[in-house]
Every structure is written in structure tokens, then in C-alpha cells.
Chains A and B, each alone.
Chain A
């Protein structure tokens, strides 16, 4: 089972939802399957791209897209990376900040209508030297589409609060 709980009991029959696994409960080798999956649409891809000040004709002009890219609605690479990272936040909710990513690979383009699923493996855990209340997780995340083809993989390091040292009780969590 492990020490992964959804609630903390405040009093009899009163439960408060817990956000995220505690640093002390992570162990190298654990794999977390993230849910829900996520389906991409052509319209959100356009909206996302335009809001990023990215006015590429690939997204703006369907005639151009047809002639240059064969009419495929390829989901913006930055939206794929953003979404795969975000899908890990139920488990890695006690994050302080992301430090960085390495080896971000996008082996199969994601198309409009595709649904992706992500999972994360713990590669390393260590306490932060400069931030005594915090620790560093080293994680590998990979995502596949509905056919099982890998669409994104990366390694990431993130800062996370240690048990009892985050601002959770103070903030009513």
C-alpha cells in the first residue's frame, strides 16, 4: 500500500484532502501512473499558440497548413511538454519550484484527437544543502498516446518541501 493517503483526519468523520506525496515517502525506483489522461483538440492548439504570441501560419492558415504540412494538426511541442509536466502534479504537488529539464525527447508528434497518458519514475532523492526545509527530486517522466507510442520523455529536477516544513498548515491545507 505505501503511505499514500488522500485525506488527513481532522476530527471524527471530518477529512481534509491532502495534495501530493511527502518527500520522505518517495523512494528511488517507484513509478507513478498519472491520471487522468488528456485529449488534445485542434482548436485549443490554435488558442494556445496564439496566446503565446506565436502566429505561425501552420496554425493560423489552414490552406497553408494543407500545402506545406499536409493538413495535419500537429500539437505545438511546447503544449505537449507543458501538459506532460502538468499531469505529474497530483503526485508531485508539494513542489517549491522546478529547477530544470534534460533530455526532452518528442519521438512521435501528437496530433489533434490524440489522448496521452504519463508516468514518472523516481531516479533520485536528496536533501537540499542550501535550503534546509527542502529536498530535490530527480524524476524521469514519459508519456504515450492511445496507441502506446511514446510522444514525450524527459528527466527533471524539482525542489519539494520536506515533511512538516512546508507552509501547508499555515495556509489551511
Chain B
């Protein structure tokens, strides 16, 4: 028998349910692990577009002939594109974040190539109140990215601010 946690909808009327995203700061507990779904496949076209969108000039990302002569044998996905996608994949759980404050560590542990599929999971490492803002609390989390073979390609630890339940201005925005 499956066990369920945290409502996906809020009942706002008779037979009327509004979709709910993200946990409130109070619902996060140290040690929780969230496995984010869906995964996301990165293509070489994504890689080229991201490189040029960010002014990346390193041809390891977009010159396949050059890349074929390297130990990677094919274009390497931009490290920070992997980072972008992994953080993106966490959106449903961390919908109520106000902002990311910074990363204390970000490690690329295996190369990513066009055609690879990324999955993300996040562990809550610490939570704390912040002095100058009662509307939010600070979470320290570790997000790990794995590819389709289960190999870890990236790990990162970072801090974010997340709205608290009583201070969340979501209701007035009809969320």
C-alpha cells in the first residue's frame, strides 16, 4: 500500500480544487530527500544554443570535429547548462523560494553529452530562521544530478530563501 504525503491540490469550493505547488518553509525537515520528476534530456542543439546565449566561446561545446579529437570524442555539454537544468527540475518542490543566495560547492563529477537524460534529487541539509526577514526562512540543500545510467554527473550545495506559511502572499495572487 503506497503512502502519500503533501497535498497536490487545495480545496477552494465544492468540487473545486486548485493546484498547489511547493512546500512551505515549515514543511521542510532536515534529512528529507525529494526525487524530482520528470527528468530532462539535453540535446546537442540545446548545448550550442546555451553556449551562444551566454557568450560561451569554448569550441569544445559546438565544434564536433574538434571535440572528436579530444578524450571526450564528442561535444561536452556546458557545465552550467547542466546546473541550470538540474535547478529547473526542482521547481515543483521549491516553488515557494524567493531566491537562491549562493552555492557553497558545485562539483561536476562526470561529463554530460547531448542525448543524456538528467534526473535530480535534493536533500535538505539545514534550515534556519533569518533575523532581518520574518517572511522567509533559509534552507541549505544538496541537489544531485544523475544520468540515464544512474551515474552522478553533478552535486551542489546551495542556500535559498523559502516563504513561510503565514507570510506567504500566494493566496492574494489566487495560488
Interface residues of A (CB under 8 A from B): 19-20, 36, 38, 44, 48-49, 51-57, 61, 63-64, 67-69, 74, 76-79, 81-83, 85-87, 89-90, 92-93, 95-106, 109, 154, 167-168, 170-173
In the complex, identify which listed stretch (B3-11, B26-34, B84-92, B122-130) lies at the interface while the others stay far away.
B84-92
| 7 residue pairs A–B, Cβ–Cβ below 8 Å | A57-B95, A69-B98, A78-B84, A81-B83, A171-B66, A172-B65, A173-B66
Say whether B83 contacts A93, CB under 8 Å: no
Say whether B169 contacts A48, CB under 8 Å: no
Q: How many residues of B contact A (CB 8 A)?
A: 54
B91 contacts which of A20, A54, A87, A168 (Cβ < 8 Å)? A54
Say whether B76 contacts A86, CB under 8 Å: no
Task: Tell me which residues across on chain B come within 8 A of A103, comparing CB atoms.
Answer: 102, 104
Task: Tell me which residues across on chain A come within 8 A of B51, comparing CB atoms.
Answer: 86
| B52 nearest CB across to chain A (Å) | 9
Say whether B87 contacts A54, CB under 8 Å: yes
Say whether B54 contacts A57, CB under 8 Å: no
User: Chain B interface secondary structure, helix, strand, loop or mixed?
Assistant: mixed
Contact A101 to B106, CB < 8 A, known contacts A82-B83, A171-B66: yes
Contact A78 to B87, CB < 8 A, known contacts A167-B69, A171-B63: yes
Task: Tell me which residues across on chain B come within 8 A of A99, comparing CB atoms.
Answer: 107-108
Contact A89 to B58, CB < 8 A, known contacts A79-B84, A82-B83, A100-B106: yes
Say whether B99 contacts A170, CB under 8 Å: no
Say whether B80 contacts A81, CB under 8 Å: yes
A97 contacts which of B79, B100, B102, B172 (Cβ < 8 Å)? B79
Contact flags B6-28 to A (C-beta < 8 A → 1, else 0) = 00000000000000010000000
B38 contacts chain A at the CB level, 8 A cutoff:
yes
Say whether B85 contacts A53, CB under 8 Å: yes
Say whether B38 contacts A38, CB under 8 Å: no
Task: Tell me which residues across on chain A come within 8 A of B174, comparing CB atoms.
Answer: 64
Task: Tell me which residues across on chain B come within 8 A of A104, comparing CB atoms.
Answer: 102-104, 106, 158
Say whether B85 contacts A52, CB under 8 Å: yes
Say whether A89 contacts B173, CB under 8 Å: no
Contact A86 to B55, CB < 8 A, known contacts A81-B83, A105-B102, A172-B65: yes
Say whether A102 contacts B57, CB under 8 Å: no
B134 contacts chain A at the CB level, 8 A cutoff:
no
